[in-house]
A and B are shown apart, each in its own frame.
Chain A
Amino acid sequence: MEPIRTLRSRTAVLAMSDVDTDQIIPARFLTTTTREGLGKHLFADWRYGADGAPRADFPLNRPQAEGCAILVAGNNFGCGSSREHAPWALTDYGFRAVVSTQIADIFRNNSLKNGLLPVLVDPATHRWLLEHAGAEVSIDLESTTLTLPTGQVARFPLEPFARYCLMNGIDELGFLLGRDRQIAAYEARARIA
């Protein structure tokens, strides 16, 4: 995984709350056996009309949303299923961070493992971001802060180990494999053979 220390981008805004993983990537696209190529199906049922043409009124289809790496979403983003296809689709599309006031547990875990930053901000910062689509913001992992173009700085929580892994490009599997001695000792205690 590529190390991430800072991220600077304009924002795309999807103001709806409780956006579930069935909207992020509908189940009919889960028959794939690889991680790649899901970006074209991201938000498929909101993004495209019945004829397959992009819907002009969907925020990601607006010209100013092109190239945005930060998605600002309503409260409780990513609720629903455990499908990791959701962060795969978001990163394949080009997003590197999702900003909200609450992000569902499994989606947040899956995002952290795919270099997609879940950024939880306070309601006032969130409201400002929702009202200023296209604002250029920066996210810094060292200080775990998000800075608005107004200069206002919002601190966000990030589990220290996940932050360490993201900043150093370390994947958790390597860390777990390195605990082989402790795992073997547990198995001996629990009589797992």
Chain B
Amino acid sequence: MSATAQTLFEKVWRAHEVVPESADTPAVLYIDLHLIHEVTSPQAFAVLRQRGLRIRRPQLTFATMDHSTPTRTEQVFAGAPVAIEAAARQVRELETNCGDFGVELLHLQHAQRGIVHIIGPELGLTQPGRTVVCGDSHTSTHGALGALAFGIGTTEVGHVLATQCLLQRKPRTLAINVNGTLPAGVGAKDLILAIIGRIGVAGGTGRVIEYRGETIRALDMDGRMTVCNMSIEAGARAGMIAPDESTFAYLAGRPRAPRGEAWERAVERWRRLPTDPGAQFDEEVRIDASRLEPMITYGTNPGMVMPIGGAIPERGGDPVFDKSLAYMGFAPGQSIREHPVNVVFIGSCTNGRLSDLRLAASLLRGRKVARGVQMLVVPGSQQVKREAEAEGLHRVFLEAGAEWRESGCSMCLGMNGDLVGEGQYAVSTSNRNFEGRQGVGARTLLASPLTAAACAVRGRVTDPRELM
């Protein structure tokens, strides 16, 4: 064991220390890539205006619109009125701010627009070893490429705009080692749900997770992003996966990735990022992937999760647990298999990528969405939409009776009016089953794209392996 052996996180952290932390002051950490969107940026631009400040490095900030944008084609491309006028005003304010301060913006009709955490990697903006921040907690997604990426609040968005830096205390490290082959019908979403079930919704607080082991290495980049995306649901600051050949193959040729000699130099640099043998983590957890099953949530936080064939646990006398189950209309000891489903949502920064749509389509092909079930398929970006259409996936969804929309956050948080009705059950590939998240009184069951598609076909909570 070497005294100088470092983890992936430590290497990225140290390379970005403008001023290291001391007992009295946090580190000044340099930010390589700052992503902004319409919802958490307006008040930060207001501070710049009040204080007469400019953006220090406008070329390192990149804007898109996703949270409150419409997903209906006529609203995106033909100017049809949107459901919520305040959302439209917020989008116009982002346009004004980006124009005034010289920030590149992917406007509503732009061919590269999409959910901020889908387009960062897709455009090659997210790269191994970079520090990436955004006023959104699912910024942890970008860690799948070996970046140190975390969500920040609006005040910190202002700090990065004005100084390209943040004041940060160094978090602790948590290694999650996953070994074994994922069984058929069990994917990255089931894996991360099982991890959250194991360590709890606060298990990662104050920590940066590094996902390691042969199961992680075997995941494709889309799957790695699904895993890192939900790090925040375990309370973690960030989730990271060491860059490898899969990462380089994914990034090669992307519009904002380095080219030619610069690419060769970058890959050489990226190869030095993985955790050194013998480096120490503050804590370690081991997961056996070969024993996992398709997972589904039954409560109102992502840690309230079980194998799809399981029974809701009994926690006698825990009023919070009972209140959560009462909201969901479930009881302790109950199995939710075969429970009726009203809505199925495929999309979000968790599961809105091409391989997610392929999984859902593989189960829907030649089948129909059950009568009375609304199924919404919302690609994570306009590029994902084009790629899916080139493969004919949209026809599979449309012929099954699902809706095929333009990209955005949509029903994950319902800011644009794509909502689940009161008391309805939605099987959703998104990341949060919080009370009211998908609509006032909506009941969310988080699951994988395969499971969600199976539930759409049967109109009931269904183990996807029954239809495979």
- Give A contacts to B, CB under 8 Å: 15-18, 20, 22-23, 26-28, 30-35, 45, 50, 74-76, 79-84, 87, 102, 104-106, 109-110, 113-114, 159-161, 164, 172-173, 175-177, 179-180, 182-183, 186-187, 190, 192
A79 with B135, Cβ < 8 A, contacts A31-B415, A114-B155, A173-B159 known: no
Shortest distance between the CB of B147 and any CB in chain A (Å):
15
CB distance from A16 to the nearest CB of B (A): 5
In the bound complex, how far is the Cα of B159 from the Cα of A113, in angstroms? 11
Q: Do B46 and A34 touch across chains, with their CB atoms under 8 A apart?
A: yes
Distance in Å from the Cβ of A167 to the closest Cβ of chain B?
A: 13
Task: From A114, A172, A186, A190, give the contact of B167 (CB < 8 A).
Answer: A172
Range class of the B interface residue count: 35 or more
Interface residues of B (CB under 8 A from A): 18-19, 23-26, 28, 30, 39-40, 42-43, 46-47, 51, 53, 56-57, 60, 67-68, 84, 86-87, 89-90, 93, 135-137, 139, 151-156, 158-159, 162-167, 169, 201-202, 205-206, 232, 235, 237, 301, 303, 319-320, 323, 413-415, 432, 434-437, 440
CB pair B320 A18 closer than 8 Å: yes
Residues of chain A with a CB closer than 8 A to B202's CB: 18, 75-76, 79, 102, 104
Please, how many angstroms separate the alpha-carbon atoms of A110 and B68 in the complex? 22
Given contacts A33-B93, A161-B167, contact A105 B205 (CB under 8 A): yes
In the assembly, what is the distance between CA of A29 and CA of B342, in Å? 26
Q: Give Cα A30–Cα B158 distance, bound, in whole angstroms.
A: 18
* Complex Cα gap A27–B438 (Å): 9
Partner of A74, one of B68, B164, B165, B320: B320
Q: A113-B155, A160-B23, A179-B28 are in contact. Are A31 and B84 (CB under 8 A)?
A: yes
Given A80-B137, A84-B153, A109-B153, A183 and B163 contact (CB-CB distance below 8 Å): yes
Contact A45 B137 (CB under 8 A): no
A158 to chain B, nearest CB (A): 12
- B235 near A105: Cβ-Cβ < 8 Å: yes
- A30 to B: closest C-beta gap in Å: 5
10 interchain pairs, CB-CB under 8 A: A20-B301, A50-B440, A79-B235, A84-B154, A104-B205, A164-B24, A176-B28, A176-B166, A179-B28, A182-B18
| Contact, CB under 8 Å: B320 / A172 | no
The complex places the Cα of A34 from the Cα of B90 at a distance, in Å, of 10
Q: CA A172 – CA B60 in complex, angstroms?
A: 21
B205 touches A76 (CB 8 A): yes
With known contacts A82-B40, A84-B40, A161-B24, A186–B30 Cβ distance under 8 A: yes
* B89 touching A102, Cβ below 8 Å: no
- Chain B, Cβ-Cβ closest to A180: B163
User: Are the C-beta atoms of A176 and B434 separated by less than 8 Å?
Assistant: no
- Once A30-B415, A192-B57 are accepted as A-B contacts, the answer to whether A172 and B205 lie under 8 Å apart by CB is no
A179 touching B18 by the CB < 8 A rule? yes
Asked if A33 meets B90 with Cβ closer than 8 Å, knowing A83-B40, A102-B202, A159-B169, the reply is yes
Q: Which residues of B contact A183 (CB under 8 A)?
A: 18, 28, 30, 56, 163-165
Determine the residue in chain A with the shortest Cβ distance to B318: A17
Q: Is the CB of B435 within 8 A of A16?
A: no
Given contacts A179-B28, A192-B57, are A23 and B436 in contact (CB under 8 A)?
yes
Q: Is the CB of A22 within 8 A of B437?
A: yes
When distances are taken between beta carbons in the complex, the residues of chain B under 8 Å from A34 are 42-43, 46
List, in ascending order, chain B residues with CB within 8 A of A161's CB: 24-26, 167
**Alpha-carbon gap, A181 to B89, bound state (A):** 38
Tell me how far the C-beta of B178 lies from the nearest C-beta in chain A, rounded to whole angstroms: 23
Q: Is the CB of B46 within 8 A of A104?
A: no
Pairwise interchain contact B432-A22, C-beta atoms closer than 8 A: yes
* Contact (Cβ within 8 A) B156 A113: yes
In the complex, the answer to whether A177 meets B26 with C-beta atoms within 8 Å is: no
How long is the Cα–Cα vector from A192 to B34 in the complex, in angstroms?
14
> Do the beta carbons of A27 and B437 come within 8 Å of each other?
yes
Chain B residues positioned under 8 Å from A22 (CB to CB): 413, 432, 434-437
B327 to chain A, nearest CB (A): 10
4 smallest beta-carbon distances between A and B, as pairs: A31-B86, A110-B153, A84-B153, A33-B42
- Across the interface, which residues of B come within 8 angstroms of A106, CB to CB? 137, 151-153, 232
In the bound complex, how far is the Cα of B309 from the Cα of A188, in angstroms? 57
In the complex, the answer to whether A182 meets B90 with C-beta atoms within 8 Å is no
Contact of A81 among B136, B155, B237 (CB under 8 A): B136
- Set of chain A residues within 8 Å of B437, measured between Cβ atoms: 22, 27
Interchain CB contact under 8 A, A80 and B89 = no
Contact check, A28 vs B18: say whether CB atoms are below 8 A apart.
Answer: no
Enumerate chain A residues within 8 angstroms of B26, measured Cβ to Cβ.
159, 161
Tell me which residues across on chain B come within 8 A of A31, comparing CB atoms.
39, 68, 84, 86-87, 89-90, 415
Which B residue sits closest to A104, measured CB to CB? B235
Cβ–Cβ contact B151 & A26, under 8 A: no
Give, as a whole number of angstroms, the nearest-CB distance from B369 to chain A: 26
Q: B48 CB to closest chain A CB, in angstroms?
A: 10
B47, B153, B319 — most chain A CB neighbours (10 Å): B153
Instruction: Write out the residue numbers on chain A whose beta carbons fall within 8 Å of the beta carbon of B151.
Output: 81-82, 106
